[in-house]
Chain A
Amino acid sequence: ILNVEQSPQSLHVQEGDSTNFTCSFPSSNFYALHWYRWETAKSPEALFVMTLNGDEKKKGRISATLNTKEGYSYLYIKGSQPEDSATYLCAHTGTASKLTFGTGTRLQVTL
């Protein structure tokens, strides 16, 4: 993996469903992995920053895991709600200051 790749590109789930997305990144020269949530017409908002292999972070119904050795991170949303509808971006830092973003996973949650 040379770049940051996210899958799926888009996802449509019903309220109450649990879902997860994948972020793949170069496993060499790793500094940190960021997850951002970006609602339409708003600013991207940081969800998590993870630095250590095996890190797990949780904020309400959203959680994330990190595997730096194999170069992937998962974002989980439990019991999706319509307000979770947004684009979820991951970004990798292979140098101290430069974030390299993926194209994002666009989530739509319907009633």
Chain B
Amino acid sequence: ETGVTQTPRHLVMGMTNKKSLKCEQHLGHNAMYWYKQSAKKPLELMFVYNFKEQTENNSVPSRFSPECPNSSHLFLHLHTLQPEDSALYLCASSQDLVSYNEQFFGPGTRLTVL
């Protein structure tokens, strides 16, 4: 157990659906992240939040909408996704944004878009 939980673990959705991914960390960390891993590609940073404020949007399409209501919770709202958005979505947290802080990852949500 890393102290970071994600729900659901698996999600299948149609292109017209709206769904949300949830991440919760029990570590008292201030920074939270969303990553995407597509097949045969490296983990790709999507969004960074620090003290609930978004500090990085890595050119992510607007059909992905993050929300961070407090330092312990992070959501990724999904709407009108494309089949190429099928991937593993990982959430992570770290004490703060300092580069030498290790990140603690959740188990991921495996998303399939039909």
Contacts and interface: CB of A to CB of B under 8 A. Distances in A.
Interface in B63-88: none
A33 B18 CA distance: 37
Contact of A89 (B4, B43, B56, B107): B43
Interface residues of B, number: 27
B107 A99 contact: no
A62 interface: no
Contact of B103 (A31, A46, A100, A104): A46
A49 B104 CA distance: 13
A25 to B, nearest CB: 12
A103 B42 contact: yes
A89 B103 CA distance: 13
Contacts of A46: 102-104
B2 interface: yes
B55 interface: yes
Given A44-B90, A102-B42, A97 B31 contact: yes
The 8 closest A-B pairs by CB, nearest first: A46-B102, A31-B99, A93-B99, A101-B43, A97-B97, A101-B42, A32-B99, A43-B105
